[in-house]
Amino acid sequence: NIKLFTSIKGLCSNSSKQKLILMSLPHNVIDKCIDELILYLNKDDIIADLGNSFFLDTRKRFQKVHENHFHFLGIGVSGGPNGAKEGPSIMAGGSKTAWKKIKNIFIDISAKKDNVPACGFFGNPGNGHLVKMVHNGIEYAIMQLIAEVYDLLKRGYGVEDAKIQQLFEKWNNSELASFLVEITAGILKKEDEVTGKGILLNYISDAAKAKGTGKWTSQNAMDIQAPIPSINAAVEMRDISKYKEERVEASKQLKWDDVSETSEEEIFAALTDAFYFGMITIYAQGLAQLTIASKEYDYGLNLEEVAKIWRGGCIIRAACLEDFRQAYSKSPELPNLLLDETIGKTLVEKQAAARNVVKAFIDKGIPSSVFSSTVSYFDSYRSEILPTNLIQAQRDFFGAHKYERNDQEGIFHTEWN
């Protein structure tokens, strides 16, 4: 019994007294729709934005809608068209009263992991979209990490597509099991129907597009000083991919000979642990950003709940999310997953593999922005002393920006010349 309307006015005047408006739209038309909806809604009607909206915009919209005596919810939905059919992951925030009224609809349609719905309410108006935004940032970085593995094997070692496919298939039946690994195994065996020769992937242009949620994650991380180098690198790799003509030209001029001493067998032996290391380090960065954002904005985010919701239905669902859920359940105030004893121990054990793989990338001249950044993030985070004392000295030298000392209290300035 579905009716179609071509105007918001028509929709509103033809539906029941108590209305629930679910908008699944691009973020740049949400304000326009709200402005129009406000003209036709009745008190206590509910508007829910189910798209990818920037969480600070959601907060403003919540304010505006509430001032007009309606309810507003910002709900992040992950899973794409398949998720819509089989059950998406749902991250909500906004009006508590409205959520109480309608939550059963979302719980019912959401994915279930171990019979637990991948659906949660995170309180504050922008929280649902904040969690979804960082979800997408992590998504960008893991996609790029996978792409770099594929590049190292294919271009660096000349491994055949079928053998790379088998690796991802094997990974998906291991502790690396995850939706993105699973679909990569599927992509690597999809034949090209146009030419009938080889897999479709080999015919797809390498200029990547982006709708902007990864960029928002990076921009917000810069605002709140949350270090997420792997997500930033993934956003930038899509940007670099755009400059195809320049890359073609540079490939002719900027030569490098492969000097790697790591054999194909050795790289296959190291890659599994290395990928695990990279993947965990990426989740750690994204989840730490959520922790920092929650403090910065006083949002009271529950990180255990985030890990729980991400276990099912969403693009970054992975076996390791249950480990993260347990880590946050043990210590809800954990600032970074790297500090969880069990996760930290695993990373310490697997770091040698990651370092060896990064060396192979460098020696072969294959780009590894995300892979390298995971090792470098790990090294930065575990460094008791960083060379940023020199940065402070330089700032004071050229700009009289002052510095603090590590042996006494106070603010200092030196006449360096």
Task: Please tell me whether residue 79 binds ligand 6PG under the rule CB under 6 A.
Answer: yes
Candidates 305, 134, 304, 136; CA nearest to 221 is 134
Which residue among 113, 132, 154, 215 is the active-site one?
A: 132
The CA-to-CA distance between both ends of the chain, in Å, stands at: 81
Of 118, 167, 314, 360, the residue at the interface with ligand 6PG (CB under 6 A) is 314
Q: Between residue 367 and residue 406, which ones bind ligand 6PG under the rule CB under 6 A?
A: none
Task: Please tell me whether residue 315 binds ligand 6PG under the rule CB under 6 A.
Answer: yes
Which residue among 9, 96, 139, 169 is the active-site one?
A: 139
Of 45, 49, 52, 188, the residue at the interface with ligand 6PG (CB under 6 A) is 52
Q: For 243-385, where are the alpha helices, taking DSSP H only?
A: 244-253, 264-297, 303-309, 320-330, 341-364, 369-381
Task: Please tell me whether residue 286 binds ligand 6PG under the rule CB under 6 A.
Answer: no
Nearer to ligand 6PG, 139 or 273 (CB): 139
Nearer to ligand 6PG, 183 or 339 (CB): 183
Please tell me the distance from the alpha carbon of residue 51 to that of residue 49, in angstroms, as a whole number: 6
Of 69, 190, 211, 395, the residue at the interface with ligand 6PG (CB under 6 A) is 211
For residue 384, what are the contacts with CB-CB under 8 A and spacing of at least 6? Answer: none
Nearer to ligand 6PG, 219 or 356 (CB): 219
Binding region for ligand 6PG (CB under 6 A) out of 107-115, 123-131, 209-217, 354-362: 209-217
Binding region for ligand 6PG (CB under 6 A) out of 67-75, 211-219, 330-338, 356-364: 211-219
Q: Least Å distance between CB 123 and ligand 6PG?
A: 21
Task: Please tell me whether residue 78 binds ligand 6PG under the rule CB under 6 A.
Answer: yes
Whether the Cβ atoms of residue 207 and residue 305 lie closer than 8 Å to each other? no
> Would residue 402 show up in a list of annotated catalytic residues for this protein?
no
Return phi, psi of residue 3, to 5°.
Answer: -110, 145
Residue type, 21: I
Binding region for ligand 6PG (CB under 6 A) out of 93-101, 206-214, 242-250, 264-272: 206-214
Conformational region of residue 115, where left means phi above 0, alpha means psi within -120 to 50, and beta covers everything else: left
Whether the Cβ atoms of residue 125 and residue 94 lie closer than 8 Å to each other? yes
Q: Mark 86-125 with x for binding to ligand 6PG (rule: CB under 6 A) and - for no binding.
A: ----------------------------------------
Return phi, psi of residue 250, to 5°.
Answer: -65, -35
Sign of the four-CA dihedral 220, 223, 228, 234: positive
Of 58, 136, 294, 302, the residue at the interface with ligand 6PG (CB under 6 A) is 136
Q: Least Å distance between CB 210 and ligand 6PG?
A: 4
Nearer to ligand 6PG, 185 or 315 (CB): 315
Tokens of 271: 């890659």
For residue 118, what are the contacts with CB-CB under 8 A and spacing of at least 6? Answer: 87, 88, 89, 90, 110, 111, 112, 308, 309, 310, 311, 312, 313, 314, 317
> Would residue 139 show up in a list of annotated catalytic residues for this protein?
yes
Task: Please tell me whether residue 182 binds ligand 6PG under the rule CB under 6 A.
Answer: no
Please tell me the distance from the alpha carbon of residue 326 to that of residue 332, in angstroms, as a whole number: 10
Residue owning tokens 């060896």? 356
Whether the Cβ atoms of residue 34 and residue 87 lie closer than 8 Å to each other? no
Whether the Cβ atoms of residue 350 and residue 374 lie closer than 8 Å to each other? no
Of 23, 159, 199, 210, the residue at the interface with ligand 6PG (CB under 6 A) is 210
Binding region for ligand 6PG (CB under 6 A) out of 75-83, 228-236, 341-349, 367-375: 75-83
User: Which stretches of the chain bind ligand 6PG, using CB under 6 A?
Assistant: 52, 78-80, 136, 139, 210-211, 213-214, 314-315
Catalytic residue IDs? 132, 139
